[in-house]
């Protein structure tokens, strides 16, 4: 601990007994401590908490709008991909395959649809996690 550190420590503790009177360093430190211990002038307005909550509510509303947007966008994409898949695979709805003993054999020609479907669901999940944060409402 340097002499100066010791001086600061003693002034901070209010231990002036061992300090020489009328020392300019001590006088300076006293002035500095007085200012440092004063509460800064800057204060927030009385309605600050209300303003923060209002901003939070506004943000939540905006986030909900975004969620609806992405939900709608996802549905449209899903529909579009279904139409494209159907047109490319010439898929025809036939529930009769359920009765068959080997249903997978009937589904084999449509494996492209299933692969694409799985990839598409993964993409939707990724977009969901990336852009839509589950915000709690206040």
Question: Cβ(62)–Cβ(133) under 8 Å?
Answer: no
> In b/e form, how buried is each residue of 24-43, taking b as 16+ CB within 10 angstroms?
eebeebeeeeeeeeeeeeee
Quick one: 56 or 79, whose CB is closer to another protein?
56
Min separation Cβ 49 and another protein, Å: 4
Give the residue with the Cβ less far from another protein, 56 or 108.
Answer: 56
Minimum distance from CB of 21 to another protein (Å)? 15
CB of 122 to another protein, least distance (A): 27
Report the distance separating Cα 98 and Cα 101, nearest Å.
Answer: 8
Considering beta carbons, is residue 35 or 98 the nearer one to another protein?
35
H/E stretch holding 32 reads helix 24-36
> Of the candidates 78, 64, 138, 68, which has an alpha carbon nearest to the alpha carbon of residue 113?
78
- Residues lying near another protein in the complex (CB under 8 A) are found at 4-5, 8, 24-25, 27-29, 31-45, 48-53, 55-56, 59, 136-138
For another protein, the closer CB: 34 or 99: 34
We find the least distance from the C-beta atom of residue 14 to another protein, in angstroms, to be 15
Tokens 């550190």, residue located: 5
């Amino acid at each position: 601990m340097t002499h100066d550190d010791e001086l600061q420590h003693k002034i901070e503790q209010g231990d002036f007994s061992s300090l020489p009177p009328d020392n300019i360093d001590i006088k300076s430190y006293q002035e500095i401590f007085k200012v440092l211990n004063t509460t800064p002038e800057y204060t927030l307005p009385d309605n600050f908490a209300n303003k923060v909550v209002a901003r939070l509510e506004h943000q939540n509303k905006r986030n909900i709008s975004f969620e609806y947007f992405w939900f709608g966008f996802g549905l449209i994409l899903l529909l579009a991909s279904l139409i494209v898949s159907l047109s490319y695979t010439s898929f025809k709805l036939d529930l009769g395959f359920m009765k068959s003993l080997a249903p997978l054999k009937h589904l084999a020609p449509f494996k492209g649809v299933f692969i694409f479907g799985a990839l598409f669901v993964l993409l939707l999940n990724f977009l969901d996690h990336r852009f839509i944060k589950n915000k709690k409402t206040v």
